[in-house]
Structure 1
Amino acid sequence: MNFLIADTFTASFNRLSGVDQKAVKASVFDLQMDRSGNGLQLHRIDKSKDPNFWSARVNRDIRLIVHKTAESLLVAYVDHHDGAYAWAERRRIEAHPRTGAIQIVEVREQVAEVAPPPTFDFVFPEPAKNEAAKPALFAALDDNALLSVGVPADWLADVRAADEDSFFTLAAHLPGEASEALLEFAATGKLALPAPPTADPFKHPDALRRIRLIADQEELEQALAFPWEKWGVFLHPSQRSLVERSFSGPARVAGSAGTGKTIVAIHRAVRLARENPSAKILLASFSQPLADALAKKLLVLAPETGGVVPRITTASFRGIAEQMYQLEHGVRPRIASDVVLRERLRAAAAGAAIKGFSERFLLSEWTNVVDAWGLSSLDAYSTVERMGRKSRLGPNQRARLWPVFAAVRETLETERYTTWANVFTGLAKALEGRTSKPFDHIVIDEAQDLAPAELRFFAALAPAGPNGLFLSGDIGQRIFQHPFSWASLGVDVRGRSHTLKVCYRTSQQIRRAADRLLPTVRRDSDGLDDERRGIISVFDGPPPEIRSFATTAAEAEAVRQTVEGWLSEGIVAHEIGLFVRTPELVVRAHRDRRVSRRSRDNDGSNEPRQGFGVSCSGRHGV
């Protein structure tokens, strides 16, 4: 008898308290050892439409829901007693008659009328415009087409009547593969080709993404320690083709926040490692915290026991450059700080008698133009395009400035200082002429923040040939870099650039609000369009609330009341994020937090002194 667990179980398991989770783990281990379930007091769920649903007692209140047949035992759900029974009574587990994949299906007659939740418009200062009635999204698809992507027969009428708003409510009731295929159709107008049926319905690709066969106790421990993390490593149909495709040259995947660019990058790195057992892959991102997050997700997707993880190096841009520099020179780079650069620029400007240019401008010009592009002569400085720079400089002004920058470069070399841009530039020159490269494939996440020297380095680090360099990024999220031409540095992704259109992480309401703040089409320096038309989110959520205040005190008080309201609702402090525009405002946020604590103490309240905190990972944000 096969022993399996479903992602519906891991999702419900994660909602339990730590004490209950420990008890559930023990019960699941017992069930794996004795699949008859005799030690767990199995009871058939009589009110369920599926006669194979049973409940297993974990403790006085917690119940496991299992689906038991002669061939398999599937751990499907866990919850408190009433919630667990209610879940099973509304579902059946069966092979879809067309696709052949095992599905966990919500019984249509057990579901109240499917209607969209109340909608709220994100209100901007300008008057809202009346929108025309939205058309049915899937009116052009007949029953055969809907069945081919896994829509259960009793949900066909609901799907056919769904528009953009009602579909998000409906999607929560459909099997995952059906809702994803329909979302892809809504975004692209194309219906994904279904995978062919398999002899074992549990081995169909659609089933394998949601139901995991557990071979032994080690796999079970791993499954419970690293559950699905649906928004972390889960691969959706609109992303799969980019993971599996072979590219003849550098390739890029784009898309707005939440469309799964990072997920594509991780899966692509794993796929390249699995296809070639000797291949070495670099998976890099902008900062070390982002690289650490990639490493954690990589472990979920490809456990260490598979031999894949040891061949995938995860690193930050600067982290891998520092490693390569040490291999090349035998020492770590001695990076000049901003303080050192300011002092050298000040001295050079004084020596050259340069007037009319502020110290701030000189540092910015050095960082974003001279050093960023590795300029070493007046001719190079005279012809470089200063894209994104606010102030224009004519030939005479550049000629006046160049002796300052030349002196700074000479001084840094004399003092054995270098810069990160110089590190990347030097490594790129060293690597360009070598036929043997340390990695077989380079996968870059957050590629929109690559500086010119960094891009030149990764282009030189990547081997020539198919699938050498793959970049994931969104120019709409560019924070740290001015725009520049990738093609001019030898990374031409034209014809190999693709935009993801289905958003899995951001609610429809937040996405619509954000889209109004960006142009519909953004064009990069190589003429590639990043188009936001046609992007669709997979779930609904509360609308963002915009409030303005006459004074900072009124603003702080409103924030305090909002956060204390969340805390009183049972939301824990570490799930709340307070974001401010500049580092200087963080001080004010902490001060307001202390005021909030004192006011609560003075009221004689016995509530815990949690207050609000500054966080980058909160589930609620102000």
Structure 2
Amino acid sequence: MTFLIADTFVKAVARLDNQSRKAAKLTALDLQMDPAGKGKSFHRIDKSRDENFWSVRASRDIRLIVHKTGERMVLCYVDHHDEAYAWAERRVFETHPTTRALQIVEIEERVEQPPAQDPATIPDHLIQQPVLPLANCTDEALLQYGVPPSWLARLRKADTDQLLDLASHLPQEAQEAVLSLAIGETPEPLAVEPEEADEALHPDAQRRFRFVDGKEELEAALNYPWDQWTVFLHPSQHAYAYRDYSGPARVGGSAGTGKTVVALHRAKWLSGKPGGKVLLSTFSRPLAVALTRKLGIMNGDEKRIVPTVHVASFVDAAAALYTLHHGREPYLAREADQKRILARHTDGITAYSEAFLWTEWRDVIDGWQLHRLEDYLEVSRTGRRSRIGKKQREDLWPVFEATRQTLIQRGMMTEAMLFEAVTALYTEKKEKPYSAIVIDEAQDLGPPELRFFAAIAPDDGNGLYFAGDLGQQIFQHPFSWKQLGVNVQGRSSTLTVNYRTSHQIRQSADRLLPEALSDLDGITSRRRGTVSLFNGPSPQVLKFASEGDEAEAVAGWLKQCLEDGIETHEIGLFVRDRDRLPRARGVAAAAGFDVETLSGSGRDAGDQIAIGVMHLAKGLEFKAVAVMACDEEALPLQSRIEQAVDEKDLDEIYDTERHLLYVACTRARERLLVTGTRPASEFLDDLGSS
């Protein structure tokens, strides 16, 4: 007998209290060891339309729902007695007649809603005909997307709002297709398996059922939420993760569409090829730690890693190769070190502000690793909107050259200098340190990092793979990848299925960004056509007369989250900058929470609410997020506005500030609160108000 576990069971386990959760897990493990259930009390669900649904007692009131046939047992659901039975009575196991995928189908329940007003009393010219997005879809068309036959008629008669609710009752593949059709998209038909194939092995069935082999694998499945369970990919993700390319490739998509999951699977797949040794790299060390953990979850046990995949941040990856070659670690100059050295060489220069000189050094001279005045005179200064002519550059060059030489004399190097040094080591070498490079958060690559990865990657079709979202670009100015020798044109794809963020939060956050974003090589990433797989409450966007009123409201919201069963470590509280952190700490204290102030070095495992600046929200996920202190001078940040030289520079600042708020808001899975005091940030009007 084969033993499977369904996503509905894992999600149900996560909703139980600790004692009930423990009982459910122990019973599940017992059933796996002995599917016959010796000593267990099986009861058939008599009122279910599916005669193979049974309940198994886990404790006095907790019941597991299993689907049991002669050759297969599936853990389906767990809850208190009445709720568990009610769940089974409303569902059946079916093999879809077209796709041949095994599905758990919810039985349609019709609830007739009385009209708000008798149509006979409304004048004809005021009666609006509802828009029925699927009215013209044939049975054959909907069946090819995995829609259960029993739901066809109801879906065709539903208007747009009704479809959003009905879709949440469908199997996942049908839900995605219905939501795409509702917004005018035409999704690809699903795979059709032959009749003799096992319906539980269909690619769509594998998104909700997992074959569990052994105690360790079952324990891992029960210990991690289903949305972190990255063993099986959505079919569209699978195509991008397991494809041979003819050159550098990139996958994009808005926040929550699974770019990181694709990167993980691609790294593991490439590592399994002959001679496979893969570098999986990301923007920061904390994000690299998170990737290592998820790579372990993919293998069923966090202690089991993929030995031929090396996970490291951009800087750590370069530092490791530098150390390997030179026999010593690089001495990296901190930002404060660079500023002090730069200041020593700018004494007497009054025509330019300290802020301008620092960013010119960081983003242009060091950022592009310019070694000669001629290079500085010719560089386009992409991302630097302030214009300076030839004479000004000639005056400034000695300052920057002296800064660089001082660093070298002290045996120090910037991160960009480190990337350049390692790039020089490997550019001409035929033998590269890795068989493939997979990069997550690729939107935050700068020119030195991109050159570095291009230099250490092998010269074959699968050598370089990037995953990122232009809408989350908050650390780097845009530049042309193609000009640096990395051309992903014709090999760029966009993911459109959002797993992490509710429809309501995603829809609200998307209002902060254009419908389409293009890089400097003309490759466009579109947000239209993205669909979220679940609903939630609408985000609350509130403006207050005073900081005291805001603090009271946010504290109340945090308490309500806790009362509704959201655990403290599943809550994030973010502000724009460090100056506003005391407001966040005060709110958390008023709500009675212990806090963990994010530092960029990773999260602790403690039961604390996470608070931090928006930049540190990157890569994190929470069930509930509050973004507060979004005042007029906070977003966009007034200190950045004051540094703007001209209108184009100001536009750049506004764009990056929008991206930053987008990143913070899309960390939320189910609940989002955004607040500010009047006059509040104009961005709040874009999000919407309630």
Q: TM-score, normalised by structure 1?
A: 0.89
Q: CA, structure 1 residues 613+416, in 2 after alignment: closer, same or farther (shift >3 Å)?
A: closer
2:311 is matched with: 314
Quote the residue 2:634 is aligned against.
none
Q: Which moved more, 1:301-310 or 1:509-518?
A: 301-310
* Counterpart residue identity of residue 443, structure 2: Q
Corresponding position: 1:56 with 2:56: yes
**1:68 maps to what in 2?**
68
- Which of 314, 329, 332 is 1:332 aligned to? 329
Partner SS state of residue 205, structure 1? coil
2:192 to 170, 192, 195: 195
User: Do structure 1's residue 621 and structure 2's residue 621 form an aligned pair?
Assistant: no
Q: SS of the residue aligned with 1:614?
A: strand
CA distance in 2, matches of 1:113, 1:84: 22
SS in 1 for 2:104: strand
Contact 1:252–1:493 (CA<8 Å) still a contact in 2? Answer: yes
- Which residue pairs with 2:2 in the alignment? 2
Report how far residue 486 of structure 1 moved: 0.7
Listed one character per residue, the Cα deviations across residues 300-345 of structure 1 (whole Å, up to 9, x for unaligned) are 2234799981111111111211111111211111111222212211
In structure 2, the residue matched to 1:93 is 93
Q: What is the aligned partner in structure 2 of residue 290 from structure 1?
A: 287
Is the contact made by 1:485 and 1:525 (CA closer than 8 Å) also made in structure 2?
A: yes
Asked if 1:255 is matched to 2:253, the reply is yes
CA contact (8 A) 1:431 1:461 kept: yes
Q: Which residue of 210, 213, 234 corresponds with 2:211?
A: 213
- Letter of the 1:167 counterpart: L
Q: Does structure 2 retain, via aligned residues, the 8 Å contact 1:55–1:64?
A: yes
Equivalent position of 1:125 in the other structure: none
Root-mean-square deviation (Å): 2.7
CA deviation after TM superposition for structure 1 residue 454, in Å: 0.5
Are 2:207 and 2:234, in contact at CA under 8 Å, matched by a contact in 1?
no
Contact 1:114 1:170 in 2 (8 A): no
Residue of structure 2 in register with 1:124 after alignment = none
Question: TM-score normalised to the size of structure 2?
Answer: 0.80
Q: Which residue of 1 is the match for residue 270 of structure 2? A: 272
Paired residues of 2:504 and 2:539 also in contact (CA < 8 A): yes
**Cα drift, residue 11 of structure 1:** 1.4
Aligned to 1:21: 21
Please report how far the alpha carbon of residue 265 of structure 1 lies from its aligned counterpart in structure 2 after TM superposition: 1.4
Q: Deviations over 1:65-118 (max 9, x none)?
A: 11111112222111111111111111111322232222111122xx24399xx9
Decide whether the 8 Å contact of 1:185 with 1:192 is kept in 2: no
Asked if structure 2 preserves the Cα contact closer than 8 Å seen for 1:520 and 1:533, the reply is yes
Alignment of 1:105-184 (within 5 A): 105-108=105-108, 111-113=109-111, 135-183=131-179
Inter-CA distance 103–114: structure 2 relative to 1 (3 Å threshold): farther
Structure 2 CA distance for partners of 1:137 and 1:329, relative to 1, 3 Å: farther
Task: Give the corresponding residue for 2:35.
Answer: 35
- Residues 215-243 of structure 1: CA distance to partner in whole angstroms, max 9, x if unpaired? 33343333333453357665223323222
8 Å Cα contact 2:282-2:441 kept in structure 1: yes
Task: Name the CA shift for 1:395/1:168 in 2 (closer, same or farther; >3 Å).
Answer: same
Change (3 A) 1:549 1:612: farther
Aligned counterpart for 1:429 among listed residues 418, 424, 429: 424
* 1:455 positional shift: 0.8
Per-residue CA deviations over 1:235-282 (Å, capped at 9, x if unaligned) read 2233232223322111111221122222221222223234x1531111
Residues in 1 aligned to 2:379 and 2:159: alpha-carbon distance in whole angstroms: 51
Code of the aligned partner of 2:169: H
1:128 corresponds in structure 2 to: none
1:440 aligns with 2:435: yes
Q: 1:271 to 1:195 in 2, by over 3 A?
A: farther
Which consecutive residues of structure 1, in runs of 5 or more, have no partner in the other structure? 119-131, 599-609
- The answer to whether the 8 Å contact 2:566/2:623 transfers is no
2: CA distance, partners of 1:305 / 1:611: 23
Give the C-alpha shift of residue 447 in structure 1.
Answer: 0.5
How far, CA to CA, are the matches of 1:58 and 1:243 in structure 2?
39
Distance 2:90 2:488 in 1: 49
Distance change >3 Å, CA 185–CA 321, structure 1 → 2 = farther
Using the aligned pairs only, state the percent identity. Answer: 49
| Secondary structure at the counterpart of residue 307 of structure 2 | helix
Question: What residue in structure 2 maps to residue 389 of structure 1?
Answer: 384
**1:576 matched to 2:576:** no
Summarize the Cα distance change of 1:72–1:246 in structure 2 as closer, same or farther, 3 Å threshold.
Answer: same
Change (3 A) 1:182 1:557: closer
Find the residue that maps to 1:548 and give its secondary structure: strand
Q: CA offset at residue 35 of structure 1?
A: 2.0
Please give the alpha-carbon distance, in whole angstroms, between the structure 1 residues aligned to 2:264 and 2:402. 44
Looking at structure 1, the residues matched to 130 and 432 of structure 2 have their Cα atoms a distance apart, in angstroms, of 54
Q: Which amino acid aligns with 1:228?
A: W
- Partner SS for 2:402: helix
Question: Any gaps of 5 or more consecutive residues in structure 2?
Answer: 117-127, 594-606, 627-690
Rounded to whole Å, the distance in 1 between the matches of 2:428 and 2:7 is: 49
Deviation (angstroms), 1:523? 2.0
Q: CA deviation at 1:468?
A: 1.1
Instruction: Please say if 1:497 is aligned against 2:492.
Output: yes
Q: Residue 203 of structure 2 contacts residue 235 of structure 2 at CA under 8 Å; is this kept in 1?
A: no
Per-residue displacement from partner, 1:166-207 (whole Å, max 9, x unpaired)? 333222211223223444555641332423234322222322
Opposite residue 221 of structure 1, the aligned amino acid is E
Q: Matched residues in 2 for 1:422 and 1:475: separation?
A: 26
Secondary structure in 2 aligned to 1:77? strand
Deviation at 1:9, TM superposition (A): 1.3
Secondary structure, counterpart of 1:349 in structure 2? coil
- CA–CA distance in 1 between the matches of 2:301 and 2:36? 32
Say which of 343, 350, 353 aligns to 1:346: 343
Match of 1:238 in 2: 236
Residue 518 of structure 2 corresponds to 523
Tell me, in whole angstroms, the C-alpha distance in 2 between the residues paired with 1:136 and 1:476.
32
Q: Secondary structure at the match of 2:611?
A: coil
**In the alignment, what sits opposite 1:478?**
473
Residue 562 of structure 1: how far off its partner (Å): 3.0
Find the aligned partners of 1:140 and 1:467 in 2 and give their Cα distance.
Answer: 43
Distance in 2 between residues matched to 1:51 and 1:358, nearest whole Å: 77
